Amino acid sequence: MENSNTSNRRSISLPTRLNPSFDQIEINLNKLKTLEPFYSSTRIHSGLVCLIELYTTVDELIGSSQTQKVNLQSRNKVLIEDALARSTRLMDSYGSLLELLGKIKGSARVLQFALRRKGVATYSTTDGHLMDYILSRKKVKKNIAACLGSLEQMEREIESCLVEGEDHHLSTVIRVLLEIVIATISMFRYVLVILSGKPKLDHKVFSFITKLMPTGKPNCHKSQEIVNDADMIDLTLDSLWKHIKNNECKTVEVQMVMERLHKLDHEVEGYEVGLDCLFRKLIQTRVSLLNILAN
């Protein structure tokens, strides 16, 4: 995991003497790198806060008079248009991620309601709520794999970008923005992975998830703990389903499932709030870039 993003992240030398914003950006970028890998919801929330701070600072930089008054020669204009195109793709990825979070939360709430209403005594193998959730979960995992593939392709394209404008200041600003976009893609990927659980279906389909899963070191206690946590709902539901079919379901099992579903609901809501704040920053940055073209 440590080699998948952090070590491949390009390092940039920022001209802090030209603009104090560069200094703050470099501090926040280094802070973000120390938080990786984002193996837990706590680290993800801290990473989102750091990303939001980064976008706030880079938006101030883009909105500065030095950047806004840049001469729109052919290559400078292309740099800004390319940055706008990337921002559109990033917002599309945000939309896909938010849609998946909504489906995860919605199916969890439906199952919670069904279990609370029916209880053990009336919950039979003919009831479809549990199976509906299991099928929904499998579909979500496939969609997560597709989103991860799209994000990985976007990341590869960005890492191969050559930023060469006529204006040195604008080129540096765009390089900084590229670095933050890569960090945002990485954050999206970690959110998806931590909600996907351990891949159990087709190995090829889940190759992107497998690459990002904590692996390897036997003494990596945190990694193993979080993988287990991501799998726990699936494992608990599998056990509950088997016991229901054998008419051996116990109240304690249903209660455990409901508690874990409630925890999942709470975590997803937290991600939605943090990602919504981040999305607002993405929009602000996009507006600032558009203002350069309008001047």
Q: At what angle do helices 41-62 and 20-35 cross, to 10 degrees?
A: 160
Rounded-to-10 torsion of CA 140, 184, 281, 63: -150
110 CB neighbour count, 10 Å cutoff: 15
pLDDT digits (tens, 9 = 90+) for 61-108: 998 888 888 888 878 898 999 999 999 999 999 999 999 999 999 988
**Largest pairwise CA distance in the chain:** 75
**Given this model, what pLDDT does residue 251 score?**
66
pLDDT of residue 96: 95
The pLDDT value given to residue 210: 41
Query: Does the pLDDT of residue 142 top 80, yes or no?
Result: yes
Dihedral in degrees, nearest 10, Cα atoms 250, 106, 207, 203: 40
Distance between CA atoms of residues 240 and 256, nearest Å: 10
d(CA 219, CA 56): 38
pLDDT in tens, 179-218: 999 999 999 999 998 888 754 433 333 343 344 444 333 3
| Spatial CB neighbours of 157, under 8 Å, sequence gap ≥ 6 | none
Which 8-state DSSP code applies to residue 63?
Answer: T
Eight-state DSSP code of residue 199: -
Q: What three-state secondary structure class fits 36?
A: coil
Helix (H) or strand (E) holding 65: helix 65-68
End-to-end CA distance of the chain: 44
- Alpha-carbon distance of 222 to 238, in angstroms, equals 24
- In this structure, is the dihedral angle defined by the CA atoms of residues 236, 140, 142 and 146, taken in order, positive or negative? negative
pLDDT at 188: 94
